[in-house]
C-alpha cells in the first residue's frame, strides 16, 4: 500500500483491535495470572491447550493460529535460503543496526524505556534473535513449530503494553497517538526488514534481488501475524523504501532514553565479546552502520576503532572471494559463521537452549549450497525523501 504523510498520521490512532480486546477482557476478569501460568507450557503448534484457559484466550489463539491466506510458500522457502546464506550478517545487522535504529525514534525509545527497565536490551535482543530463528525453521508454520505461539504471545505482549501505558498515564496519547500504533508497528517492520538489508549492503554483503525481496516478504507475513492491519504494510521493497524513509525522517532525533538504551546495549555486547581488547569495536561497528549523525544522537562513543571498522566490508569482500574460489576456505568460513552466530545467541540468552540447527538441516535435506545467487547483486534503492 502506498502511504502519504496523512495516511501515516491516521495510522497513529489505530492499535490492534483483536489483541487489545483480548487483553482487556483478561484484565477485567482478573484472568491474566492464570493465562500466563497456563500459557508458559504452550510453546509449540498442535499442542493441546491446557484446561482452565479463559474462553477469550481460547478464541484469540484460535483466530490467530493461521498465517495470512495470501502467503506464497515458495517465497517463504527462498527467504529461508537467504537467511541460511547470510545468517551471521543478518544477526550482526539486527544487533548493531536495527536495535539502535529503534532508539533513534524518540517516542519509541521512551516507550521501550518505560516498559522494560535495565534488563531491557539483552532480553529484547535475545527474544528478537530467538524469534528470527523460530521463523526460519523449515517447519515454522507446521505442527511442533515454536514460531506461531511465539507470535501469538508477542502480539498479546504488545497489547498489554498498550493497556498499561494508557491505564497508568505513562503515555501522552493526545500528542503521541496510540502506544505501539499501526504506524510504529509498520515502522518496526521496516527496521527489521529493509533497514537490515541496508545494513547488509553497508557491510559489503552481496545479495541477489530475489533473496532481498523474499527476506522482506517473510517479514511482511510476520508483520500481519503480529497485528499489522491487512493491506496496510508496504507490499514490496519499493514501497518499503518509501514508507521506511518517510517514517524515519518524520521522527528520528536525539533523546535521553535513546542514549541510555544505546549505552545499555553497548555494555551488553561488550560483555559478550571475549576480553576487553575488542570492546571499542562494538561502538565502532554501531557508528559505522547507523552513521555519525545517529551515533552522535545516541551518544555512541568514538574511538580509534572507528577507522578500522570501516575496513570490515572490504575484508568481508576479500573473504567472500576466498569462499567463492576455494572449497577449503568456504568450509572454514562456514564453520566460523556458525560459531559466531552460536556464540552471539547463546551469550545473549544466558545459556538457554537455542534451536540453532536449522540451516544445517535445510542444507542436508535439499542439498543446497546456494552460492550462485550472489552474481545478480541487489543494491538498496536510494533514499525516497518525501517531497
Partner 1 sequence: MSDPVLIAAGAADLVVEGVGTALRRAGALLGRSDLAALARDGREELRQRGSLALRRHAPTTESHLELLARRAASRGSGPGDV
Interface residues with partner 1 (CB under 8 A) are 12, 97, 101, 104, 106-107, 175-177, 195, 198, 201-202, 204, 245, 248-255, 288-294, 297, 307-308, 311, 313-319, 321-322, 325-326, 329, 380, 383, 385
User: What is the H or E stretch that residue 357 is in?
Assistant: none
Please give the grid coordinates belonging to residue 40. Answer: 508458559
Q: Which residues contact 264 (CB under 8 A, 6 or more apart)?
A: 118, 120, 121
Task: Give, to the nearest 10 degrees, the angle between helix 106-116 and helix 256-272.
Answer: 60
| Separation between Cα atoms, residue 205 and residue 207, nearest integer Å | 6
The nearest distance, CB 358 to partner 1, in angstroms, is: 28
- Which residue, 322 or 357, is less far from partner 1 as judged by CB? 322
- Which residue, 85 or 323, is less far from partner 1 as judged by CB? 323
Q: DSSP 3-state assignment of 378?
A: strand
The nearest distance, CB 269 to partner 1, in angstroms, is: 18
- Which residue, 20 or 245, is less far from partner 1 as judged by CB? 245
- Judge whether 43 and 149 are in contact, CB under 8 Å: yes
The nearest distance, CB 7 to partner 1, in angstroms, is: 16
The nearest distance, CB 156 to partner 1, in angstroms, is: 25
- Which residue, 43 or 326, is less far from partner 1 as judged by CB? 326
- Which residue, 189 or 294, is less far from partner 1 as judged by CB? 294
- Judge whether 40 and 322 are in contact, CB under 8 Å: no
- Which residue, 172 or 267, is less far from partner 1 as judged by CB? 172
What's the Cα-to-Cα distance from 374 to each of 32, 79, 331, rounded to whole Å? 49, 14, 17
The nearest distance, CB 174 to partner 1, in angstroms, is: 10
* Nearest residue to 125 via CA among 116, 157, 161, 140: 116
- Which residue, 23 or 101, is less far from partner 1 as judged by CB? 101
The nearest distance, CB 336 to partner 1, in angstroms, is: 12
| Separation between Cα atoms, residue 42 and residue 4, nearest integer Å | 41
Q: Which residues contact 208 (CB under 8 A, 6 or more apart)?
A: 82, 373, 374, 375, 376, 377, 378
| Separation between Cα atoms, residue 223 and residue 233, nearest integer Å | 8
The nearest distance, CB 326 to partner 1, in angstroms, is: 7
Amino acid at each position: 500500500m502506498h502511504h502519504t504523510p496523512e495516511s501515516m498520521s491516521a495510522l497513529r490512532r489505530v492499535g490492534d483491535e483483536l489483541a487489545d480486546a483480548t487483553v482487556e477482557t483478561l484484565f477485567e476478569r482478573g484472568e491474566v495470572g492464570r493465562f500466563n501460568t497456563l500459557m508458559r507450557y504452550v510453546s509449540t503448534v498442535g499442542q493441546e491447550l491446557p484446561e482452565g484457559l479463559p474462553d477469550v484466550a481460547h478464541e484469540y489463539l484460535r483466530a490467530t493460529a493461521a498465517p495470512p491466506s495470501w502467503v506464497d510458500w515458495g517465497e517463504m522457502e527462498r527467504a529461508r535460503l537467504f537467511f541460511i546464506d547470510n545468517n551471521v550478517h543478518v544477526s550482526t545487522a539486527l544487533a548493531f543496526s536495527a536495535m539502535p535504529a529503534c532508539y533513534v525514534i524518540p517516542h519509541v525509545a521512551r516507550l521501550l524505556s518505560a516498559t522494560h527497565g535495565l534488563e531491557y536490551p539483552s532480553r529484547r535482543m535475545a527474544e528478537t534473535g530467538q524469534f528470527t530463528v523460530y521463523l526460519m525453521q523449515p517447519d515454522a508454520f507446521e505442527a511442533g513449530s515454536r514460531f506461531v505461539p511465539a507470535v501469538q504471545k508477542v502480539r498479546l505482549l504488545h497489547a498489554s503494553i498498550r493497556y498499561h501505558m494508557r491505564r497508568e498515564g505513562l503515555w501522552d496519547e493526545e500528542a503521541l497517538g496510540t502506544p505501539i500504533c499501526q504506524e510504529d508497528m509498520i515502522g518496526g517492520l521496516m527496521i527489521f526488514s529493509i533497514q537490515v538489508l541496508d545494513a547488509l549492503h553497508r557491510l559489503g554483503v552481496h545479495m541477489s534481488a530475489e533473496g532481498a525481496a523474499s527476506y522482506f516478504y517473510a517479514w511482511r507475513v510476520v508483520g500481519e501475524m503480529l497485528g499489522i492491519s491487512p493491506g496496510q504494510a508496504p507490499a514490496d521493497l519499493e514501497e518499503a523504501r518509501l514508507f521506511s524513509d518517510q517514517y524515519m525522517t518524520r521522527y528520528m532525533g536525539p533523546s535521553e532514553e535513546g542514549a541510555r538504551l544505546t549505552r545499555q546495549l553497548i555494555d551488553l555486547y561488550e560483555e559478550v565479546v571475549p576480553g576487553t581488547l575488542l570492546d571499542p569495536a562494538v561502538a565502532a561497528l554501531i557508528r559505522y552502520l547507523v552513521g555519525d549523525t545517529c551515533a552522535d544522537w545516541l551518544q555512541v562513543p568514538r574511538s580509534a576503532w572507528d577507522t578500522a571498522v570501516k575496513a570490515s566490508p572490504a575484508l568481508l569482500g576479500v573473504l567472500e572471494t576466498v569462499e567463492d574460489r576455494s572449497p577449503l576456505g568456504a568450509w572454514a568460513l562456514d564453520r566460523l559463521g556458525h560459531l559466531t552466530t552460536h556464540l552471539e545467541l547463546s551469550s545473549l540468552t544466558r545459556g538457554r537452549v537455542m534451536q540453532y540447527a536449522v540451516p544445517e538441516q535445510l542444507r542436508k535435506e535439499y542439498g543446497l549450497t546456494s552460492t550462485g545467487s550472489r552474481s545478480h547483486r541487489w543494491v538498496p534503492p536510494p533514499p525516497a525523501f518525501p517531497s
